[in-house]
Amino acid sequence: MAEINETVSRTFDEYLLLPGLTTKGHYPEQVSLKVPVAKYRPGKEEPYCLGIPFTSAAMQSVSGPDLAIALARKGGCSFTFCSQSIEEQAAMVRKVKEHKAGFVDSDSNIAPDDPLSKAIALSKKTGHSTIAVTEDGGRHSRLLGILTDKDYWETKDDPRLPVRYYFTPLERLVCAKEGVSLEEATEILHKEKKECLPIVDDSGNLASLVFRKDYFDHKANPLELTDEKKRLFVGAALNTHDYLKRAETLIEAEADLFCFDSSDGYSEWQKDAALQLRDRYGRKIILGGGNVVSADGFRFLVEEADLDFVKVGIGGGSICITREQKGIGRGQASAVIEVAAERDRYFQETGIYVPICSDGGLNNDTNIIMALALGADFVMMGRYFAMTEESPTPKVNYRGMLYKPYWGEGSSRARNWQRYKESDKDEDAMFFEEGVDAYVPYSGSLADKVDTTLAKLRSTMCNLGVLSMDKLHKNARAVRVSAMTLVESGTSRVEQFERMPTEKL
């Protein structure tokens, strides 16, 4: 007969946090959200850290290069998805790595004989008001000048005339030579009171652009997550099929973090793959795995597979139907609580701290806060990021509201890939789906969204009287809530005539 665990499987909505003493020293600006992302010996080693406890899911409709750049700039990390060819994934990693903070590869370029109408259309398409005018309109050909929206009046000037009638020619521009440092470029912008500084190579070809606004943007993102060469951080998902070749190519592309992407990581497939990679690369790579929902799953991945972090969660994802289809999984709160307790036991026994990540099913900011308070070191989110401007899917207008497509890695839309295959034998088989193909409301820029969530997290931490994530784990006190408490938690006996659209998201 089956062993029955009578404890109820619970979700984050079933808990509330009790405030602790907030002293006068507890204010949001004092809160540190740094979290370890790879196993380490506290007190003996410095951990490898994320600036904020957020990662984005390794999913086709979530973690493209634009999202990875935007998230790393806030202090988190994206996991580029492995349900694409190895070369495509490596190109995504390279795109993030090549995004030198400050030096922008110009994506709006035009030739001098092109009509103004083409420049206006280009500016609307890219959303950029600065257009480089180059000999043949290419992004790295000879720079002839710059056209900005201050050089023409859209409703007054003749759109049929060529751009050369309007642009500011090279001789009236301030430029810098390739090789200039970002600090030097910023100094030039400051001294010359310019908005944009073109960087050219020895032959006069456009290399990149440096913008004044990016300096302020950089100052506004003090937690930006970069490697030792000051390039943005990016992660890469691996599967348990082509992992040797994929890891090799992604290491060459200089991905910073690796993680097996599997709905059920408590498997010999993952152990074998992890050990082979460890054998080949030792501790030079940070390698996570999962997903698990129980203490024994965690132990297996840490002790047998030697992984650096473990992802927790089966069946809670917003697009996931694994529990309905196969009957496996666990309420996300129960899974995090059990695995976090095992992580702490493992630390007591060995002195080694193995971070855990709560993956999937975080439906609102409170769920995120609860996941972290109940023991997760960081979270992984799909839906949350799929809704943002920077996710790789186009906005869709449906009945006057904007949406973005969002589909599961186990849906038929992503079906040609290996995540849901159990062994090499069923290479082409997929008898049922574990994910759906859906839409999520558009929620604007990632930066604004993350700032709001982090403001709530910092505020909650002050309520609890803690200023760091490890203190949050140690001091948080949660209580279970009844159905009536949930009713009480919402508004009661008041009429709300109008709500901001974002309040419903």
The set of catalytic residues is 320, 419
Cβ 376 to ligand MZP shortest distance, Å: 13
Which H or E run includes 131? strand 130-134
Report the residue number, 225 or 320, with the smaller CB distance to ligand MZP: 320
Q: Which residue has the tokens 């050089």?
A: 151
Cβ 305 to ligand MZP shortest distance, Å: 18
Half-sphere exposure of 457 (CA within 13 A, CB side): 28
**The Cα angle at residue 22 between residues 335 and 452, in degrees rounded to 5:** 60
Report the residue number, 31 or 301, with the smaller CB distance to ligand MZP: 301
Report the residue number, 244 or 396, with the smaller CB distance to ligand MZP: 396
Cβ 259 to ligand MZP shortest distance, Å: 10
Cβ 473 to ligand MZP shortest distance, Å: 22
* Cα distance between the two ends of the chain: 44
**The Cα angle at residue 274 between residues 235 and 97, in degrees rounded to 5:** 20
Cβ 293 to ligand MZP shortest distance, Å: 12
Structure tokens at 314: 């089966």
Task: Report how far residue 320's alpha carbon sits from residue 406's, in angstroms, rounded to the nearest whole number.
Answer: 11
Report the residue number, 238 or 362, with the smaller CB distance to ligand MZP: 362
DSSP strand pairing (49-50 vs 35-36) = antiparallel
Task: Report how far residue 336's alpha carbon sits from residue 373's, in angstroms, rounded to the nearest whole number.
Answer: 10
Report the residue number, 74 or 383, with the smaller CB distance to ligand MZP: 383
Pick the closest to residue 209 from 64, 92, 100 (CA basis): 100
The type of residue at 58 is A
Cβ 316 to ligand MZP shortest distance, Å: 6
Cβ 58 to ligand MZP shortest distance, Å: 7
The residue at minimum Cβ distance from ligand MZP is: 435
Contact residues toward ligand MZP (CB under 6 A) are 57, 59, 263, 317-320, 322, 359-362, 380-384, 408-411, 434-435
Query: Is the separation of the CB atoms in 235 and 271 below 8 Å?
Result: no
Task: Report how far residue 87's alpha carbon sits from residue 93's, in angstroms, rounded to the nearest whole number.
Answer: 10
Task: Report how far residue 206's alpha carbon sits from residue 175's, in angstroms, rounded to the nearest whole number.
Answer: 10
| SS3 (DSSP) at 122 | helix
Structure tokens at 137: 């309109």
Cβ 193 to ligand MZP shortest distance, Å: 45
Report the residue number, 108 or 263, with the smaller CB distance to ligand MZP: 263
Task: Report how far residue 41's alpha carbon sits from residue 54's, in angstroms, rounded to the nearest whole number.
Answer: 22
Half-sphere exposure of 136 (CA within 13 A, CB side): 4
Report the residue number, 249 or 318, with the smaller CB distance to ligand MZP: 318
**The Cα angle at residue 57 between residues 82 and 414, in degrees rounded to 5:** 50
Q: What is the 3-state secondary structure (H, E, C) of 238-293?
A: ECCCCHHHHHHHHHHCCCCEEEECCCCCCCHHHHHHHHHHHHHHHHHCCEEEEEEC
Report the residue number, 132 or 293, with the smaller CB distance to ligand MZP: 293
